[in-house]
């Protein structure tokens, strides 16, 4: 049985999809942010690999099919933006200002906490790109002298946290405007947060998708300044 699992090309895909489906069913049953499908899938996958003694490289080899579809899946994020283009056209100034505010506040908070906690430059550069997509964030971190591998983990945690807490935070601060919700979620928690924004509504999803792109570009530009403050 173990030999079959280790040599199966589709094992990585099977366990990943099965774990995510279970997480989705769990969330529908309990309606709790703690039952986030991505978190449940992550925990179940790790436990499965540990219990069965399967090497991570074996699992990773099977997930190449999922990785292959990441690019077209990311491109699909532009669809809600296209559908809500009229909303963007009418409110482009507010949208861009909101994204700019989100990027600036993220970078400033990291800089302040880095000073308070006494981060080294390497640690600071690792945390700085926490709110943009993994590919861009790792490149920014490496360019500034941080640790790209750790930056990827921090970015993932940021995205998962945003996905789990988005609705709760919006209710807590009484944010009811769909555009404001989408911009805040996309600027703070990139793609993982955007999946939650799409569940909340079409406008939220569109604005969050736009925020991913614009905040990524702005962060790269701003990092040339913020990256050398500490």
In the predicted structure, residue 114 carries a pLDDT above the cut 90: yes
pLDDT of residue 78: 76
Mean pLDDT score of the chain, rounded to an integer? 88
Burial of 116 (0-12, 13-18, 19+ CB in 10 A): exposed
Query: What is the tens place of the pLDDT at every residue in 117-141?
Result: 999 999 999 999 999 988 889 999 9
Choice between 48 and 84, residue whose per-residue pLDDT is larger = 48
Give the model's confidence band at 172: pLDDT under 50 very low, under 70 low, under 90 confident, else very high: very high
Q: Taking Cα atoms as reference points, which of 44, 56, 36 lies closest to residue 16?
A: 44
Q: What does the pLDDT read at residue 6?
A: 61
Alpha helices per DSSP H over 10-147? 11-30, 37-52, 56-62, 64-68, 70-75, 78-83, 85-90, 92-117, 121-127, 134-144
pTM here is 0.82
**Residue 51 CA to its chain's centroid (Å):** 28
Question: What pLDDT, on the 0 to 100 scale, is given for residue 27?
Answer: 87
Percent of the chain topping pLDDT 90: 54
Band of pLDDT at residue 81, cut at 50, 70 and 90: confident
Look at 88 and 105; give whichever has higher pLDDT. Answer: 105
Q: What is the pLDDT of residue 207?
A: 92
């Amino acid at each position: 049985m173990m030999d079959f699992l280790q040599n199966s090309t589709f094992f990585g895909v099977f366990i990943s999809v099965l774990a995510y489906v279970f997480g989705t069913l769990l969330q529908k049953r309990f309606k709790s942010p703690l039952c986030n499908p991505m978190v449940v899938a992550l925990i179940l996958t790790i436990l499965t690999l540990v219990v069965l003694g399967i090497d991570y490289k074996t699992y990773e080899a099977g997930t190449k099919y999922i990785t292959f579809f990441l690019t077209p899946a990311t491109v699909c994020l532009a669809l809600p933006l296209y559908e809500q283009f009229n909303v963007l056209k009418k409110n482009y100034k507010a949208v861009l200002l909101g994204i700019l505010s989100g990027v600036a506040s993220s970078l400033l908070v990291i800089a302040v906490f880095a000073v308070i906690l006494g981060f080294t430059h390497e640690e600071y550069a690792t945390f700085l790109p926490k709110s943009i997509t993994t590919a861009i964030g790792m490149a920014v971190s490496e360019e500034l002298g941080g640790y790209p591998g750790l930056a990827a983990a921090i970015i993932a945690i940021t995205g998962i946290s945003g996905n789990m807490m988005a609705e709760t935070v919006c209710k807590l601060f009484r944010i009811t405007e769909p555009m404001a919700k989408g911009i805040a979620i996309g600027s703070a928690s990139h793609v993982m947060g955007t999946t939650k924004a799409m569940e909340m509504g079409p406008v939220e999803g569109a604005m969050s998708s736009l925020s991913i792109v614009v905040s990524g570009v702005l962060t790269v530009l701003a990092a040339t300044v913020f990256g050398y403050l500490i």
